[in-house]
Structure 1
Amino acid sequence: MDQDLIVSIGQRALEMTLLLSMPVLLATFFVGLVVSILQAATQIQEMTLAYIPKVITAFLVIFFLGGWMLMKLVDFAKEIFVNIPIWIR
């Protein structure tokens, strides 16, 4: 294994991490933004008020996109394991 291959595998792993985490992060970001705007408009400054909608949103995103996320992760792992004998030569 040369350095270029290791860097390439690491880069693909980071890309996969971003791809799998982005839906949850974006959804919770937008829900947090909406809750913050509502808190500012109503002057309710309860810090814990933003957590419950974010947690529910994260669970819903994982519930609806979890199958796709798991399929992408399994495909990536299969590709890594299948190519190990080729890379070791």
Structure 2
Amino acid sequence: MDTNAVLDIGVQGLWTAAKLAAPVLLTALAVGFGISLMQSITQIQEVTLSFVPKAVAVCVALLVCGHWMIQEMVHFTNELFEKIPSLLSGG
């Protein structure tokens, strides 16, 4: 196994991780920004007011995107398993 193959697997792993984290992180970012904007407009500074909607939105994002996320992980894992013979043979 050469360094190019290791780097290629590492890059693919990082891209897969970024794709899988994006829906949850972007949802939390958008909801957090919206709640923070509403808190600054209304001057209500309650901690649970920002946490509960964000947690609910992240759960909804996982429910909506969960099937796609599992498919992406299975696809990545299948690609890794298919590469094993070529990585071991050095070709």
Q: TM-score, normalised by structure 2?
A: 0.94
Which runs of 5 or more residues in structure 1 are unaligned? none
Partner of 2:60: 60
Q: Aligned partners of 1:82 and 1:74: how far apart in 2?
A: 12
Q: Aligned partners of 2:40 and 2:10: how far apart in 1?
A: 42
How far did 1:86 drift? 1.1
How far did 1:47 drift? 2.1
Q: TM-score, normalised by structure 1?
A: 0.96
Amino acid in structure 1 at the alignment position of 2:52: I
Q: Aligned partners of 1:61 and 1:25: how far apart in 2?
A: 9
Q: Aligned partners of 1:60 and 1:38: how far apart in 2?
A: 21
> Which structure 1 residue ranges, 4+ long, deviate > 2 Å from structure 2?
none
Which runs of 5 or more residues in structure 2 are unaligned? none
Q: Aligned partners of 2:61 and 2:24: how far apart in 1?
A: 6
Aligned residues: 89
